Chains A and B, each alone.
Chain A
Amino acid sequence: MIDPGRAIRTLRFSTLDNRQADCVNLSQIQAQTCAHQRGKSMKYLSHVAAAAILAALPFHAPIARAETPANTLVQAWAIDDIITLDPAEVFEFSAGELMGNTYETLIGYDPGDVSNVFGRVAESWTVSEDGKTMTFKIREGRSFASGNPVTAADVVFSLTRAVKMDMSPAFILTQFGFAPDTVDEKIRAIDDYTVEFEMDQAYAPSLVLYCLTANVASVVDMALVTEHEADGDFGYNWLKTNYAGSGPFSIREWRPNEVVVLDRNENYSGDAPAMERVIYRHVPEPATERLLLEQGDVDIARKLGPEEFAALASNPDIKMQEGPKGTIYYIGLNQKNEYLSDPRVAEAMKYLVDYSAIADTIMSGVAEVHQTFLPKGFLGELDENPYALNVEKAKDLLAEAGYPDGFTVTMDARNTADITAMAEAIQQTMAQAGIKVELIPGDGGQTLTKYRARTHDMYIGQWGPDYQDPHTNADTFTRNTDNSDEATSKPLAWRNAWDIPELSVETAAAMMEPDAENRAAIYRELQGKVLAESPYIIMFQQIEVAAIRSNVDGFILGPSFSDNSVAGVTKE
């Protein structure tokens, strides 16, 4: 469900990242402070400022360092991507994490081993003989935070509601053949604790189950939501800023760009969390986050950069925790471009990125080299990274293609710190083989709009899976059923004008393959072909790192943001 390409996020984060790039890190500041304090002007300044503060402070005693309360977990993060709290609409990183901690889905998986799928609200499930209908048995005796029982009616209400509302993540459900006007017949309650889920085709059960772990399939409290329904809005205008779930925590308050406060759900049917309250504070500036963490005003800092991590590494009060995320960094080569459409050129370019150098410097600790389109941990992942910087080989390939002296192309790059730095590094290595890359920086909205209109030459960006099934990435990297300019569906293959009728058929077949092992084999084959022939230079997989006070244990960083869990957190 995570969606890093999403315009809203890229837009906002681009501004933050710009600031981040502008801001010097703290050790630099300390050094500069010393340097400046040798200068007279700074001395006067600090005296005046100190005098001003002391004069203004009526309380001369130092303010005691407020440790966070023992029953409260405080996190600093950039939470300005939250635009809704309705699980039928949520598609953002931080909101996804909130949903994961406050709502429950029918199906869940172990964040440590994604292949371990189990029922959460569902107790068990069966697949009909024709493979088109799944029947879910709902666990009895569970309740929502409101005290209302969780029944089959709630499950049906939640899923049909998401389909009818048709918000951004609705396609995760509608891809199984549901439409707003017919979904009531297709997803139905048989009795109080049995739900039938009837699809238009016999999709692979693993695909269906993974899709049902996405936030959009969260079970909402039908009675509570219906109470707030107005003008047939399915309670959306209320739920977008309120809460009606059954997870370990309930959402007490969301003040945009400021704070989200979660309270322990006393009616939670699972093990009660140790924390009574969890607070997400919006702290967009990494250097500020670091100060708050060091002072103990927050327990976990979530938006630090490589510089802050390096500075905190020696602090005994702070520990680091890593979680590989599904986001992939890649370059798309538009096949409408005469140079880039030559497969030898595409291959040459794959040899013109210094993968390991970038991973060790610009993206140190926050990304690792990864060259296949399925992130690690996915069914059918292929752990192969055959490409490394090899200028000679690239030159040979270019000469073979008829461009011994290279050529000039443009590359659109979002103006965030990480993408810009990567783009510049790649520009430099491409130049070694004579390929002159002109960078066109732009903010998220602009580059995305251009990419979607496929008027770029090269585009460097990110792609994150929408749910934990391989189909989510295959659907975009290796499926392009209509390569015309008028196509309504715009997968990455279309955006790069990669016309692949055969691969599209294979991708569709993988979606239907009932046997998980056979499915995995198809995806491995697809990835092998993409590695060799595709117009994508897939480079890295993202790692999420959190800096945590050492008295805090049990925080989980899972493969997707909705797997990041605070339910098991304890504090000494």
Chain B
Amino acid sequence: MVGRARALPVLTRLAKIVVSLAVTLLGLLLVTFLIGRVVPVDPVLSVVGDRASQSTYDRVFLELGLDQPLVVQFWMYLQDVLRGDFGDSFLTKRPILDDIARVFPATLELATAGVLIGTILGIPLGVLAAVKQGKLADQIVRVVGLVGYSAPIFWLALLGLLVFYAQLGLVAGPGRVDITYEYDFTTKTGLLLLDTALQGRWEAFRNVFSHLILPACLLGYFSMAYISRMTRSFMLNELHQEYVTTARVKGVAEWRIVWVHALKNAAVPLVTVIVLSYMNLLEGSVLTETVFAWPGLGSYLTNSLQNADMNAVLGCTLVIGISFTALNLISDLLYSLLDPRVRRRR
């Protein structure tokens, strides 16, 4: 009885999550679908081109189901999705799931590395700026952040390539791996760092790392700018609280006040900031991907959208929606880990 009583709230919670996920995704799909149908691009032309004969055009028009009313088209699509069939992309001629399984890991790897760098650098810098409020260190951090906000990313990306790849030779160039290592390992997860490490291909690992580090630093720089700014303001808020004064009166070491007492309290809103920043990167950065010849989700999605390849666009929308929901769940969990009040409320 006791066990059942405990299990029920968990189940209710799970059911709630599933229902809200389903509603969110359905809404996303519907809106994306409608947008795709009002874009003034003829998907048939994207498939057959300008030269095809009228019979070819008509055949493809029927094949794409464009003769059906919108509602029917959407319903047919939904039925397929529920069966696990996301359709084929007419640009890559492959199942959408295969395409996403290929492009999403590239973005995931880059975004994860980027957000890690952004967090590891951004939090200490933000804390530093808050502690040294108004002093030189604060100004430096703020200026660095401002540049991160305002510099055009393709410009910084090209600059980075010019300096670290072309001039200094510190990192490998655009792309994910050198052609020498192209077939040195088998791609399983699509996360090349993980693949090479699991297969013990350390030279290839090193090469992959060297390709990843520059774009990751670049994206990391942008999320660092955001994270450090937010950390600074959260910390400033905390440092003016009474418990900080109390701790100081009690004679607690200053570093302990900052890094343990105040930061712990700033951590909850910071989780939201980091998750948002991660989410931003996961949608894929088209410009970064273009400059670094990175075959990720951003350029795949843009390309598909511009050619009215709606199956691909809808598939990507789902993936992004699911990632968003998953990250929200994770940040909820983190809240309850970090904040005893949230834990108790549940």
Report if A170-B56 is in contact (Cβ < 8 Å); known contacts: A6-B50, A295-B166: yes
In the bound complex, do residue B117 and residue A56 qualify as a contact, i.e. CB atoms below 8 Å apart?
Answer: yes
Identify the stretch in B66-74, B177-185, B251-259, B317-325 within 8 Å (CB) of chain A at 4 or more residues.
B177-185
Please provide the chain A residues from 40 to 65 with a CB less than 8 Å away from any CB of chain B in the complex. Answer: 40-42, 44-46, 48-49, 52-54, 56-59, 62-63, 65
Neighbouring A residues of B121 by C-beta, 8 Å: 48, 52
Neighbouring A residues of B299 by C-beta, 8 Å: 257, 284
Which residue from chain A places its CB closest to the CB of B45 in the assembled complex?
A7
B91 on the A face (CB < 8 A) = yes
B12 on the A face (CB < 8 A) = no
In the bound complex, do residue A80 and residue B308 qualify as a contact, i.e. CB atoms below 8 Å apart?
Answer: no
A69 on the B face (CB < 8 A) = yes
In the bound complex, do residue A170 and residue B53 qualify as a contact, i.e. CB atoms below 8 Å apart?
Answer: yes
A285 on the B face (CB < 8 A) = yes
Neighbouring A residues of B164 by C-beta, 8 Å: 53
A407 on the B face (CB < 8 A) = no
In the bound complex, do residue A255 and residue B102 qualify as a contact, i.e. CB atoms below 8 Å apart?
Answer: yes
Q: Within the complex, which residue of B53, B93, B209, B308 is in contact with A83, where a contact is CB–CB below 8 Å?
A: B93
1/0 per residue A308-329: CB within 8 Å of B? 0000000000000000000000
Which residue from chain B places its CB closest to the CB of A16 in the assembled complex?
B290
Tell me, in angstroms, the Cα distance from A400 to B97 when the chains sit together: 64
B330 on the A face (CB < 8 A) = no
Neighbouring B residues of A294 by C-beta, 8 Å: 166
Identify the stretch in A111-119, A189-197, A202-210, A440-448 within 8 Å (CB) of chain B at 4 or more residues.
A440-448
Tell me, in angstroms, the Cα distance from A69 to B180 when the chains sit together: 8
Identify the stretch in B142-150, B240-248, B260-268, B270-278 within 8 Å (CB) of chain A at 4 or more residues.
B142-150
In the bound complex, do residue B293 and residue A282 qualify as a contact, i.e. CB atoms below 8 Å apart?
Answer: yes
1/0 per residue A482-510: CB within 8 Å of B? 00000011000000000000000000000
In the bound complex, do residue A23 and residue B154 qualify as a contact, i.e. CB atoms below 8 Å apart?
Answer: yes
Which residue from chain B places its CB closest to the CB of A23 in the assembled complex?
B154
1/0 per residue A292-307: CB within 8 Å of B? 1011010000000000
Interface size class of B (residues with CB under 8 A): 35 or more
In the bound complex, do residue A12 and residue B54 qualify as a contact, i.e. CB atoms below 8 Å apart?
Answer: no
Report if A489-B54 is in contact (Cβ < 8 Å); known contacts: A53-B213, A257-B303, A284-B293: yes
Report if A446-B41 is in contact (Cβ < 8 Å); known contacts: A80-B303, A83-B90, A288-B292: yes
Q: Within the complex, which residue of A33, A49, A169 is in contact with B221, where a contact is CB–CB below 8 Å?
A: A49
B165 on the A face (CB < 8 A) = yes
A168 on the B face (CB < 8 A) = yes
Which residue from chain B places its CB closest to the CB of A464 in the assembled complex?
B51
Neighbouring B residues of A556 by C-beta, 8 Å: none
Q: Within the complex, which residue of B48, B158, B166, B306 is in contact with A23, where a contact is CB–CB below 8 Å?
A: B158
Q: Within the complex, which residue of A15, A171, A174, A287 is in contact with B158, where a contact is CB–CB below 8 Å?
A: A287
In the bound complex, do residue B46 and residue A168 qualify as a contact, i.e. CB atoms below 8 Å apart?
Answer: no
Tell me, in angstroms, the Cα distance from A291 to B167 when the chains sit together: 10
Which of A29, A48, A446 gathers the greatest number of chain B CB atoms within 10 Å?
A48
Neighbouring A residues of B210 by C-beta, 8 Å: 57, 59, 63
B186 on the A face (CB < 8 A) = no
Q: Within the complex, which residue of A33, A59, A282 is in contact with B159, where a contact is CB–CB below 8 Å?
A: A33
Distance from B109 Cβ to chain A, minimum over Cβ atoms (Å):
14
Neighbouring B residues of A224 by C-beta, 8 Å: none
Which residue from chain A places its CB closest to the CB of B92 in the assembled complex?
A256
A74 on the B face (CB < 8 A) = yes
Which residue from chain A places its CB closest to the CB of B59 in the assembled complex?
A166
Distance from B181 Cβ to chain A, minimum over Cβ atoms (Å):
9
Neighbouring A residues of B48 by C-beta, 8 Å: 167-168
Tell me, in angstroms, the Cα distance from A46 to B221 when the chains sit together: 11
Tell me, in angstroms, the Cα distance from A448 to B55 when the chains sit together: 19
A91 on the B face (CB < 8 A) = yes
Neighbouring B residues of A169 by C-beta, 8 Å: 51-52
In the bound complex, do residue B42 and residue A7 qualify as a contact, i.e. CB atoms below 8 Å apart?
Answer: yes
Distance from B193 Cβ to chain A, minimum over Cβ atoms (Å):
12
Distance from B43 Cβ to chain A, minimum over Cβ atoms (Å):
9
B124 on the A face (CB < 8 A) = no
Tell me, in angstroms, the Cα distance from A56 to B216 when the chains sit together: 11
In the bound complex, do residue A285 and residue B143 qualify as a contact, i.e. CB atoms below 8 Å apart?
Answer: no
In the bound complex, do residue B50 and residue A53 qualify as a contact, i.e. CB atoms below 8 Å apart?
Answer: no
Distance from B90 Cβ to chain A, minimum over Cβ atoms (Å):
7
In the bound complex, do residue B173 and residue A297 qualify as a contact, i.e. CB atoms below 8 Å apart?
Answer: yes
In the bound complex, do residue B173 and residue A29 qualify as a contact, i.e. CB atoms below 8 Å apart?
Answer: no
Neighbouring A residues of B221 by C-beta, 8 Å: 48-49, 52
1/0 per residue A356-371: CB within 8 Å of B? 0000000000000000
Which residue from chain B places its CB closest to the CB of A284 in the assembled complex?
B290
Q: Within the complex, which residue of B41, B53, B300 is in contact with A174, where a contact is CB–CB below 8 Å?
A: B53
A388 on the B face (CB < 8 A) = no
Report if A281-B147 is in contact (Cβ < 8 Å); known contacts: A171-B53, A445-B46: no
B75 on the A face (CB < 8 A) = no
Tell me, in angstroms, the Cα distance from A449 to B90 when the chains sit together: 19
In the bound complex, do residue B182 and residue A291 qualify as a contact, i.e. CB atoms below 8 Å apart?
Answer: no
Report if A295-B165 is in contact (Cβ < 8 Å); known contacts: A11-B306, A12-B306: yes
Distance from A412 Cβ to chain B, minimum over Cβ atoms (Å):
13
Which residue from chain B places its CB closest to the CB of A283 in the assembled complex?
B293
In the bound complex, do residue A168 and residue B49 qualify as a contact, i.e. CB atoms below 8 Å apart?
Answer: yes
B217 on the A face (CB < 8 A) = yes
In the bound complex, do residue B213 and residue A443 qualify as a contact, i.e. CB atoms below 8 Å apart?
Answer: no
1/0 per residue A438-478: CB within 8 Å of B? 00000101101100100000000000001000000000000
Report if A256-B94 is in contact (Cβ < 8 Å); known contacts: A62-B169, A448-B45: yes
Report if A257-B56 is in contact (Cβ < 8 Å); known contacts: A292-B174, A445-B45: no
Which residue from chain B places its CB closest to the CB of A62 in the assembled complex?
B169
1/0 per residue A15-30: CB within 8 Å of B? 1100100111010011
In the bound complex, do residue A63 and residue B169 qualify as a contact, i.e. CB atoms below 8 Å apart?
Answer: yes
In the bound complex, do residue A291 and residue B166 qualify as a contact, i.e. CB atoms below 8 Å apart?
Answer: yes
Tell me, in angstroms, the Cα distance from A46 to B159 when the chains sit together: 10
Please provide the chain B residues from 15 to 68 with a CB less than 8 Å away from any CB of chain A in the complex. Answer: 40-42, 45-56, 59
Distance from A33 Cβ to chain B, minimum over Cβ atoms (Å):
6
Tell me, in angstroms, the Cα distance from A297 to B176 when the chains sit together: 13
Tell me, in angstroms, the Cα distance from A83 to B93 when the chains sit together: 7
In the bound complex, do residue B307 and residue A63 qualify as a contact, i.e. CB atoms below 8 Å apart?
Answer: no
Which of B46, B206, B213, B292 gathers the greatest number of chain A CB atoms within 10 Å?
B46
Given A63-B207, A288-B293, A446-B40, 16 additional A-B pairs, CB 8 A: A5-B49, A7-B307, A11-B307, A30-B162, A44-B140, A49-B160, A52-B217, A59-B210, A80-B303, A170-B53, A282-B293, A287-B158, A295-B173, A443-B41, A443-B306, A445-B40
What 9 A-B pairs come out closest when comparing CB atoms?
A: A445-B41, A6-B49, A258-B295, A256-B92, A7-B45, A168-B52, A62-B169, A488-B54, A240-B93
Query: Which residues from chain B sit less than 8 Å from chain A, CB to CB?
Result: 40-42, 45-56, 59, 90-94, 99, 102-103, 117, 121, 140, 143-144, 146-148, 151, 154-155, 158-166, 168-175, 178-180, 182, 206-207, 209-210, 213-214, 217, 220-221, 287, 290-293, 295, 299-300, 302-303, 306-308
- Selected A-B contacts with CB under 8 Å, 12 pairs: A3-B50, A15-B303, A26-B158, A33-B163, A56-B217, A62-B170, A80-B303, A170-B52, A256-B92, A282-B293, A297-B178, A445-B306
